[in-house]
Amino acid sequence: MDEARVTIGTRIKLVALCATVFSLFYNVNAWYASTLDYVPSFIFSFEQYIPFIPWTVIPYMTSGIFFVIVFFLCETRQELQTLTKRVVFVSVAAGLFFLLFPLKFSFIKPETSSVLFNFFFQFIKKVDSPFNEAPSLHIAFAFIFWSVFRNFTAPWRQVSAVWLVLLGLATLTTYQHHLLDVVTGAILGQLSFIVFPAEKNNFKLRNFYLANCYFLGGWLVILLSLVVFEFYHASGLILLWPALVLFLVGYHYQKNSIYFLKNKQGTIPWYKKIVYFPYIGLYWLFWKFLRKNKKPIELIPKLYVSSRLDQSEFQDFKGNQNTLVYDFSAELEENNAIKGNSVYHAVPLLDIGAFDTIEIKRIVLEITSHYKELPKDGKILIHCTMGLSRSTLIGILVVKNILSLPLDEALIKIKTTHKNAVIHSYVQDFLKSINI
């Protein structure tokens, strides 16, 4: 049987499955809400200033078209299966919220003089329900559409991004949804990426999973900010700052931008300290109060791992100009005592993120080479922020390389020496895949 024909048939079946699940949950809940004596609305006070813009009904209407064609744009079976799982998940999860917390759109929609726009609005009136508001399926589906559209090449990638943004804004400007629905729809769409990642065991895509966690956190903080602003105090809007930072950090995880904060001298520029203050501050608190590995641990003679040391801890370590320091922390800048009294190397890695195999090999071989040439009073210190995971990874590979040990023996040696070492399963998989 022709493979393309089978593929098309499978796509059609999956479209039908997702459309059936969506229709079932959407229509049953709309009917249920219509039978209730009272269905509340949730409106932020400033929403009264959102304008009604008739022409935005056009991008709003394209959601139904995208719902179908997106299944025919997936390039692999894996991508198609993931898309299906996300659409079903979003439809069912939203349906449960519609059932448990029914809400109604409450603004009166103005009349429009355009025949075309009026036709679209009449169509929406027939097929859309004034209920089934939060979370907005239009928004959640737009997120899922982007997970496929983002694979387009320029300029279609940019065009589709702008169009999906217009689609999202149209939920407000066509008076179909309130802001709560939009934010909760974004949360639900983002959650679908975490529950059903693109490729669960693909180490190279780990940063995308972590980025989605940061993005989800950003949307949750936005929701919290709006609620605090509405019901307690205008100061709640300050929470939009950490929300923005979460989005920025998520973006850099997607790009694996290891120098997004620190430069190659181990310093964070003043303007980044201001912008990323919530992120840097949180890591500083973790470092200040939760770290355990404050005293460098000697893995083998003259090779140490630790957390980021403060000035007094580095003095106790007796670092000198023949001490090589490899700093793998991407979140906190190195203290001046270390940079001024050692041979310092800034080689940041994103916390619990993916690693670039070529870069890791380069670093390990460089440390190994320096180790073999150390003078009598020389030593090497490898550290990250907490001294648990990133420094441990490099320590394992360096010890394995210097002593020519099998990986299992190197792991046992590190675990025996470094009691607080954290070796995640994905790190173990990476160690097995890298050959130095």
**Mean pLDDT of the residues in the chain:** 94
Roughly how many angstroms between the first and final C-alpha of the chain, as a whole number? Answer: 46
DSSP letter (8 states) at residue 109: P
pLDDT at residue 3 greater than cutoff 80: no
Geometric angle at alpha carbon 202, from 201 and 205, rounded to 5°: 125
134 with 97: CB under 8 angstroms?
yes
Domain count, the chain: 2
Task: Tell me, rounded to whole angstroms, the distance of Cα 128 from its chain centroid.
Answer: 32
Confidence band, pLDDT 50/70/90 cuts, at residue 5: low
Average pLDDT over residues 406-423: 94
pTM attached to this predicted model: 0.94
Q: Give the rounded percent of residues in the chain with a pLDDT score beyond 90.
A: 89
Instruction: List the one residue out of 21, 28, 15, 20 whose CA is nearest residue 129.
Output: 28
Q: What residues have CB less than 8 Å from 436, skipping those under 6 apart?
A: 361, 364, 365, 397, 400, 401
Does a structural domain hold residue 329?
yes
Answer yes or no: do 308 and 179 share one domain: no
Upstream peptide bond of 54 is cis (omega within 30 degrees of 0): no
Is 266 domain-assigned? no
Percent composition of the chain: helix, strand, coil (DSSP 3-state, to 5) = 65, 5, 30
Q: What is the pLDDT of residues 372-414, one digit of tens each?
A: 999 999 999 999 999 999 999 999 999 999 999 999 999 999 9
Assign 326 to helix, strand or coil. strand
Provide the 3-class DSSP secondary structure of residue 92: helix
Rg over CA atoms, the chain: 27
Does the pLDDT of residue 53 top 70, yes or no?
yes
For 333-354, letters b (16+ CB in 10 Å) and e give bbeebbbebbbbbbbbbbbbbb
Residue 275 lies in a domain: no
Residue where a domain stops, chosen among 141, 167, 196: 196
Whole-angstrom CA distances from 177 to 50, 66, 157, 168 are: 11, 19, 26, 10
Q: Is the pLDDT of residue 39 over 60?
A: yes
pLDDT-based confidence at 323, cuts 50/70/90? very high
Looking at residue 380, its pLDDT comes to: 98
Please tell me whether residues 185 and 308 are part of one structural domain: no
CB 190 within 8 A of CB 140: no
Residue at 220 is within a domain? no
Does residue 19 sit in the same domain as residue 150?
yes
CB 88 within 8 A of CB 17: yes
Which of 134, 165, 196 terminates a domain? The answer is 196
- On whether residue 33 sits in a domain, the answer given is yes
Tell me whether residue 46 is in a domain.
yes
Distance CA 278, CA 374 (A): 40
Q: What is the pLDDT of residue 149?
A: 97
pLDDT given at position 127: 82
pLDDT at 126: 85
9 and 145 together in one domain = yes
Report yes or no on 235 lying in a domain: no
- Domain of residue 14, residue span: 3-196
CATH number of the domain encompassing residue 415:
3.90.190.10
Contacts of 103 (CB under 8 A, 6+ apart): 39, 40, 41, 42, 131, 133, 134, 178, 180, 181
pLDDT in tens, 62-109: 999 999 999 999 988 999 999 999 999 999 999 999 999 999 999 988
Domain assignment of residue 252, yes or no? no
pLDDT at 341 over 70: yes
Query: Do residues 165 and 306 both lie within one domain?
Result: no
Say if CB 327 and CB 347 are below 8 A apart: yes
Model confidence over 201-220: pLDDT tens digits?
788 889 999 999 999 999 99
Residue at a domain's end among 163, 196, 229: 196
In total, the chain counts a number of residues equal to 436
Give the per-residue pLDDT at 34. Answer: 92
